[in-house]
Amino acid sequence: MVQTNIPDFYSIYDLVVSCHLLVNDGQCVLIDTGLTPLARYSLKRRIRSLGLAPSSLKAIFLTHGHLDHTGNIAWIQKWSGAQIYIHREDQMHLEGRHPYHGASRICGWLESIGRAIFHYSAPKILNYFQDGEKLPFGCGLQVMHLPGHTDGHCGFFHIESNLLFSGDLFACYLVSTHAPPFFLNTSAGKLASSFRKVAKSNPRFIVCNHYEFTDPCYMRRKFQQLYERRFAGEKLANTMPINRK
């Protein structure tokens, strides 16, 4: 568990992605599901170690519809009975029907292969959230719509602890912190404004989904460096007054 003033929150590790379990007063919510049985095993083990039943998992909040974040959704829904929440614009991703264009077709091919290998099935009953909405089940999360990686990509802001779960806005590894590769983005033109939105909201901590170690302070620092290197200049270029002397 991370030593901040965040409520009990746990990383659920999968092969290439991590999900996050928030626990509050005997109830849990899960941010993303991972793809492989490893994430299911980690989730079951964590819930059991907390002395809770599967039915204590009340909701799954999806940052976006990519398969590495949604692959276990049908299994977890069946196991726990949790409700599923996603931004409406990512529903087609979740159903495996998103019409990828250009370079992002590579992402679509990778997802097709993954769906076949892991016998993916889409959940049937969905709830939709919007930018700024406060999410239910007492977890204190607020939706922050951050399009670019996908149109419906969202982060979840934990207001009380000033922590943003930033989804795939960026990845934070020891060797490299980077925005998602171009072939994984379906609306890359919106990425810069999403980075600016987060920089402006200035959260104290950030936790993304792709990393080696859960360190919200480290990820916050790395976000700032990436933002200044890649995106802050664009804003300056757009707003810099012209010297007419």
**Site for Zn ion (CB under 5 A): how many residues?**
3
Phi first, then psi, for residue 71 (nearest 5°) are -55, -35
Nearer to Zn ion, 10 or 68 (CB): 68
Rounded CA-CA distance 182/60 in Å is: 27
Q: How many CB atoms lie within 10 A of CB 14?
A: 25
Contacts of 216 (CB under 8 A, 6+ apart): 2, 4, 6, 163, 205, 206, 207
Specify the residue, 115 or 235, whose C-beta has the smaller distance to Zn ion.
115
Which one, 161 or 166, has the nearer CB to Zn ion?
A: 166
Q: Work out whether 68 is an interface residue with Zn ion (CB under 5 A).
A: yes
Return the residue of 20, 58, 66, 145 that touches Zn ion, per CB under 5 A. Answer: 66
Is there binding between residue 111 and Zn ion (CB under 5 A)? no
* Candidate ranges 31-39, 50-58, 160-168, 236-244; the one touching Zn ion (CB under 5 A): 160-168
14 in contact with Zn ion (CB under 5 A): no
Stretch in the footprint of Zn ion (CB under 5 A) among 63-71, 129-137, 211-219, 230-238: 63-71
Rule CB under 5 A: is residue 89 a binding residue for Zn ion?
A: no
The region of 25-33, 61-69, 71-79, 221-229 touching Zn ion under the rule CB under 5 A is 61-69
Only segment of 50-58, 98-106, 164-172, 224-232 that touches Zn ion (CB under 5 A): 164-172
Q: Is 168 in the site for Zn ion (CB under 5 A)?
A: yes
157 vs 167: CA distance, rounded Å: 11
Which residues of the chain form contacts with Zn ion (CB under 5 A)? 66, 68, 168
